[in-house]
Amino acid sequence: MNSLIFLLVLFSIIWTYILFLTSNSKHRKSGKLPPGPSPLPIIGNMLQLGDKPHQSLAKLSQTYGPLMYLKIGCIETVVVSSPEIARIVLQKYDQSFCSRRAPVTLESFEVDKFSMAWLPVDNQWRKLRRIWKEHMFSLQSLDASQGKRQEKLHKLCDYLNQCCVNGHVVDIAEATFTTSLNMLSSTLFSVDFADFNSDSSQEFKDVVWNVLKCIGSPNFADYFPILKYVDPQGISRRTKFYYGKLFAILENIIDQRLESRGTSEKNDLLEALLHLPEFSPKELKHLLMDLFLGGTDTAPANVEWAMTELLRNPKKMLKAKRELNDVIGVHGVIQESDISKLPYLQAVVKETLRLHPCRTFVSTS
């Protein structure tokens, strides 16, 4: 019975969508759009993207040119594939393309009103950007937190060395995720939220990991907005659960800090933000959420892919090792100031990002 009801609802949605396409086809054809492959009814060009969209887009651009039109579900998309046009879009017309829609899964959390990641470029966005720049990414702030970052990297090295001595398999993504999480939590709250060998911190890591997984999962409702009322993949439901759980954790941290003010004061980002009179509690929660998700999202995947490519190419691995030995020494400890002296390692990172981009699509409004 439930299957029959689901099929009837799905058929009604598809039929309504077909009528919508038919009624608007004349309007779309009259617009000036770049060349591109003919879209199929309903799904558009989704099948042509495949499981490696960035490679599929590169091949399609060889046929249709550096400025190409695609229909992804009901989302009209323009793909830029040349440095010259990208420079025009991102520099000359950046104000026209800098905003983007929030995912359907996050609509209930008002990210389009409070999250810098999804806000349009307005006064609110500029205020948040100024706060980020002054309190998180200024040279003074980065220098002040360098010791904490160095400490977390030393813990990572100790953990990897211990695994080698004991013959244990290392999960690169998990180890990098734990390190990234602790770098952020130490800078923000002066505490470590995760541990390599402790089960007590696993619950928090699972919450953050599941939030990232839900947000990063392709959701049909983003390309077929009418499906957001059905949530056929259950992504919105899972996101609401885990996102709400992480919000509750951040709320608890903020409340505890407010209660302890006057008795003890810590030199971290949370303390600095609490002293800003123009900052509301809701803005503070969203800012901390943005920092957490943005700071722990890409590093594990990037490091894992970099190690994978180096293992696939032993000669490149040997060359990277030689550079490290020449600059730092066999038993030396790397410092952030050494990065500028490691051009080959920098090239490895850049090539990894080129071959395995973490974010292929960014939807603009």
In this prediction, residue 15 carries a pLDDT of 59
In this prediction, residue 246 carries a pLDDT of 87
The answer on 69 and 16 residing in a single domain is: no
Is it the case that residue 149 has pLDDT exceeding 50? yes
Whether the CB-CB separation of 23 and 329 falls below 8 Å is answered with no
Please report whether residue 122 resides in a domain.
no
CATH code of the domain covering residue 227: 1.10.630.10
The listed range with the strongest mean pLDDT (137-151, 227-241, 292-306, 340-354) is 340-354
The answer on 139 and 261 residing in a single domain is: yes
The answer on 282 and 147 residing in a single domain is: yes
- Summarize pLDDT for 159-209 with one digit per residue, the tens: 999 999 999 998 888 888 889 888 888 888 888 888 887 665 677 778 888
* Choice among 151-160, 246-255, 296-305 with the minimum mean pLDDT: 296-305
- Among 262, 291, 257, smallest CA distance to 274 is for 257
Query: By percentage, how much of the chain surpasses pLDDT 90?
Result: 20
Q: What does residue 98 show for φ and ψ, rounded to 5 degrees? A: -85, -15
Looking at the 3D structure of the chain, how many domains does it have? 4
The answer on 252 and 329 residing in a single domain is: no
Which of 78, 98, 118 is the last residue before a domain boundary?
A: 98
Neighbours of 243 (CB within 10 A): 22
Which of 264, 281, 297 is the last residue before a domain boundary?
A: 297
Please report whether residue 118 resides in a domain.
no
The answer on 304 and 239 residing in a single domain is: no
Please report whether residue 119 resides in a domain.
no
The answer on 134 and 24 residing in a single domain is: no
pTM over 0.75: no
The answer on 290 and 195 residing in a single domain is: yes
Report which of residues 296 and 224 the model is more confident about.
Answer: 224
The answer on 265 and 143 residing in a single domain is: yes
In this prediction, residue 359 carries a pLDDT of 60
* Choice among 32-36, 38-42, 211-215 with the minimum mean pLDDT: 211-215
Is it the case that residue 1 has pLDDT exceeding 50? no
Domain that holds residue 25: 1-30
The answer on 315 and 220 residing in a single domain is: no
Whether the CB-CB separation of 104 and 222 falls below 8 Å is answered with yes
In this prediction, residue 146 carries a pLDDT of 86
The answer on 170 and 190 residing in a single domain is: yes
The answer on 58 and 21 residing in a single domain is: no
The listed range with the strongest mean pLDDT (219-233, 236-250, 297-311, 337-351) is 337-351
Measured CA distances, 67 to 61, 82, 353 (Å): 8, 8, 22
In this prediction, residue 365 carries a pLDDT of 42
